[in-house]
């Protein structure tokens, strides 16, 4: 074991090299616990409050221990930060020759094959001059880039439609059969990852590979000594996503597009294929329109009475069956057509299975409707057994780190959900002085959240607090509908002369930058701003949360899990719903105090925090702020600045 004290102490290795380094007792203890778990190849679930310095606490022991390390993060932003800043800093401070690699999902890398196809026949896919201009920029970048990582081409928005034309997916990648295989950016990234000591991935990539053996990690994992999950609170949701199966109308339309391109190039003389492909495309678009709503989830049993849904689903299956037959007939003419045939057959098999089988005790079939797409899903009701198999496959250390994993320092919910029965658990409180720096305010006189005028009353209670804080606030909402209503009410409010920013009026990074620049703005946001957002200083002095973030009980996956737990004679509310709400609330509350000098108010509008028996368990899980129900105390708090 290495002497962590000499590394993390005042005048130690890190303080001499990293400008913003602060000595934290919690950080040193956490580093020692992680070093011990790595050394003994144990499972450690660790929660450390904001400001502990979690990243350094796991990087130092991971780099010093030697062997191969995989670090998985919740977001690509943190992934880039670790690779470009944090790991190089620690490596330089410790003076150790550790090699590092960044590995993302294939959709993040330009694909030479699809780029060439798009350049050869832009009539098929492009409708705007902007698309063509972006395509030219991508072509120039691909010629000189070492990585092909699209994040390095910042002039093109990440959500630009052109990216779909010049990157590959698991469905349409030709693999070793690709004529550009030797120059493939994805394969080069995997090669670098195989050679490196430390590989930085993200949760989506990790689980996509564990389940689909698709992203190159199956070659990395056998040689790996340590896996570290940062932002580990996101894992249950991500694991559910990848341990299940799904097909969306978006994927089906990608198949239509790729079939169209391949048919023009390799089967121009076969007139039947474009006709059947066009009929299939129409059936897919009609299928999406079968449900006019958007941003909703429906179980298979809820939707099976919808005649239009059933009719259009059957039509998709019939048309796809015809397309599969024709593509099989033409598959030998090109690798691209062969790939389209295999994808079409896989999609057909899944959709038929989704329609013809019913949800079971272990999984649920359901539909999610987005703005432009409809997705059919089969999701396991528990990921614990599946993930447990991964943990027990090889002896290695597994480290799970986050600021929000426990309820009152109890990790039972998380370890049960992830199948971590044998894990060690550890908790470190934040080093910040919450009793001095922050106030928790629950206003009086508000009705229960199911009251028709609840949101209007929330805004009335929030207005004097927003005036006292001079704006400088996040208004975090538990639904998009509430977010929109709160924005409208604040726009109409008299004597509230502060800039209003609404989630969706630009990218998250753009809105955050605007918020920091304005210094007195009110940002109204939903799930996007509950976590992974860091605004230090006086620009953010107030966080308002409209109500306790319990997941909607009509969500099909949630209701199926609740039913399963209750049928087993357990209490789903206490074991599952309440812990999830606490962890989400802790994430939102964590936006407020980001360093030693921050001061602010956390306003939680939901009266259940006071009136319900479980309310005490919730606020006791939050940082130890002073609590008040008096508006005058809030006004005095801000007046003292």
Q: Give domain 434-639's CATH architecture.
A: 3-Layer(aba) Sandwich (3.40)
pLDDT band, residue 495 (cuts 50/70/90): confident
Render pLDDT for 466-488 as a digit per residue (tens, 0 to 9): 999 999 999 999 999 999 999 99
Q: Are 157 and 170 in contact (CB under 8 A)?
A: no
Confidence at residue 127, expressed as pLDDT on a 0 to 100 scale: 60
User: pLDDT at residue 614 above 70?
Assistant: yes
Q: Going by C-beta distance under 8 Å and a sequence separation of 6 or more, which residues neighbour residue 55?
A: 82, 86, 230
Q: What is the pTM of this model?
A: 0.90
Q: List Cα–Cα distances, 192 to 216, 330, 507, in angstroms.
A: 11, 37, 31
User: For the chain, which residues make up each domain, given as ranges?
Assistant: 4-98+197-230+382-428, 106-186, 243-380, 434-639
Confidence at residue 155, expressed as pLDDT on a 0 to 100 scale: 82
Render pLDDT for 250-283 as a digit per residue (tens, 0 to 9): 999 999 999 998 998 888 899 899 999 999 999 9
Q: Go through 506-521 and write b for each residue having 16 or more CB atoms within 10 A of its CB, e for each that does not.
A: eeeeebbeebeebebb
Q: Are 544 and 462 in contact (CB under 8 A)?
A: yes
CA 350 – CA 362 distance, rounded (Å)? 18
CA 615 – CA 618 distance, rounded (Å)? 5
Q: Give domain 243-380's CATH architecture.
A: Orthogonal Bundle (1.10)
- Residue 602: strand, helix, or coil: strand
User: pLDDT at residue 128 above 80?
Assistant: no
Confidence at residue 121, expressed as pLDDT on a 0 to 100 scale: 67
- The domain made up of 4-98+197-230+382-428 has a fold known as Rossmann fold (3.40.50)
CA 174 – CA 179 distance, rounded (Å)? 9
CA 95 – CA 89 distance, rounded (Å)? 10
User: Is 434-639 in the same CATH topology as 4-98+197-230+382-428?
Assistant: yes
Q: Nearest 10 degrees: CA dihedral of 431, 434, 438, 441? A: 130
């Amino acid at each position: 074991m290495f002497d962590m004290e000499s590394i993390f102490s005042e005048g130690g290795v890190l303080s001499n090299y990293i400008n913003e380094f602060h000595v934290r007792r919690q950080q040193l203890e956490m580093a020692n616990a992680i070093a011990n778990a790595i050394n003994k190849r144990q499972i450690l679930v660790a929660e450390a409050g904001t400001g502990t310095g979690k990243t350094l606490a796991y990087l130092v022991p991971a780099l010093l221990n030697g062997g191969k390390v995989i670090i998985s993060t919740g977001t690509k932003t943190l992934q880039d930060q670790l690779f470009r800043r944090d790991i190089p800093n620690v490596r330089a401070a410790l003076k150790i020759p550790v090699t590092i690699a960044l590995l993302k999902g294939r959709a993040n890398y330009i694909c030479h094959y699809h780029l060439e196809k798009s350049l050869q026949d832009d009539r098929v896919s492009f409708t705007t001059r902007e698309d063509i201009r972006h395509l030219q920029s991508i072509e120039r970048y691909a010629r000189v880039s070492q990585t092909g990582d699209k994040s390095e081409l910042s002039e093109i928005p990440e959500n630009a439609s052109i990216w779909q034309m010049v990157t590959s997916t698991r469905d349409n990648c030709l693999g070793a059969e690709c004529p550009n295989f030797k120059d493939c950016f994805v394969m080069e990234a995997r090669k670098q990852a195989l050679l490196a000591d430390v590989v930085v991935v993200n949760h989506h990539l990790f689980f996509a590979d564990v389940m689909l053996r698709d992203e190159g990690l199956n070659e990395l994992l056998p040689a790996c000594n340590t896996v570290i999950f940062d932002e580990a609170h996101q894992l249950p949701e991500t694991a559910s996503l990848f341990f299940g199966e799904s097909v969306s109308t978006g994927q089906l339309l990608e198949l239509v597009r790729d079939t169209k391109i391949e048919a023009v190039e390799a089967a121009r003389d076969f007139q039947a294929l474009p006709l059947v492909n066009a009929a299939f495309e129409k059936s897919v678009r009609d299928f999406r329109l079968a449900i006019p709503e958007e941003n909703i989830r429906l179980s298979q049993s809820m939707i099976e009475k919808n005649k239009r849904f059933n009719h259009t689903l059957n039509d998709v299956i019939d048309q796809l069956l015809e397309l599969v037959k024709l593509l099989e007939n033409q598959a030998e003419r090109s690798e691209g057509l062969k790939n389209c045939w295999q994808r079409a057959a896989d999609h057909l098999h899944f959709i038929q299975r989704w329609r013809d089988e019913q949800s079971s005790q272990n999984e649920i079939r359901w539909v999610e409707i987005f703005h432009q797409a409809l997705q059919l899903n089969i999701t396991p009701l528990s990921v614990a057994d599946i993930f447990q198999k991964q943990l027990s496959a090889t002896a290695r250390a597994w480290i799970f780190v986050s600021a929000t994993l426990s309820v009152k320092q109890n990790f039972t919910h998380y370890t049960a959900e992830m199948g971590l029965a044998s894990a060690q658990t550890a908790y470190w409180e934040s080093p910040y002085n919450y009793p001095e720096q922050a106030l928790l305010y629950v206003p009086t006189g508000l009705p229960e959240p199911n009251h028709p005028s609840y949101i209007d009353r929330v805004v009335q209670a929030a207005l004097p607090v927003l005036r006292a804080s001079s704006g400088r606030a996040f208004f975090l909402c538990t639904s998009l509908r509430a977010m929109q209503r709160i924005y409208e009410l604040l726009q109409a409010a008299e004597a509230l002369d502060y800039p209003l920013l609404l989630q969706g009026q630009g990218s998250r990074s753009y809105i955050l930058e605007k918020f920091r620049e304005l210094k007195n703005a009110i940002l109204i946001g939903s799930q996007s701003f509950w976590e992974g957002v860091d605004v230090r200083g006086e620009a953010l002095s107030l966080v308002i949360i409209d109500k306790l973030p319990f997941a909607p009980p009509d969500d099909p996956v949630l209701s199926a899990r609740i039913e399963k737990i209750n049928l087993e004679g357990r209490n789903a509310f206490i074991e599952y719903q309440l812990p999830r709400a606490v962890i989400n609330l802790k994430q939102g509350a964590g936006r407020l105090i980001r360093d030693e000098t921050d001061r602010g108010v956390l306003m939680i509008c939901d009266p259940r925090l006071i009136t319900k028996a479980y309310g005490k368990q919730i606020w006791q899980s939050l940082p130890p702020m002073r609590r008040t129900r008096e508006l005058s105390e809030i006004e005095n708090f801000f007046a003292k600045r």
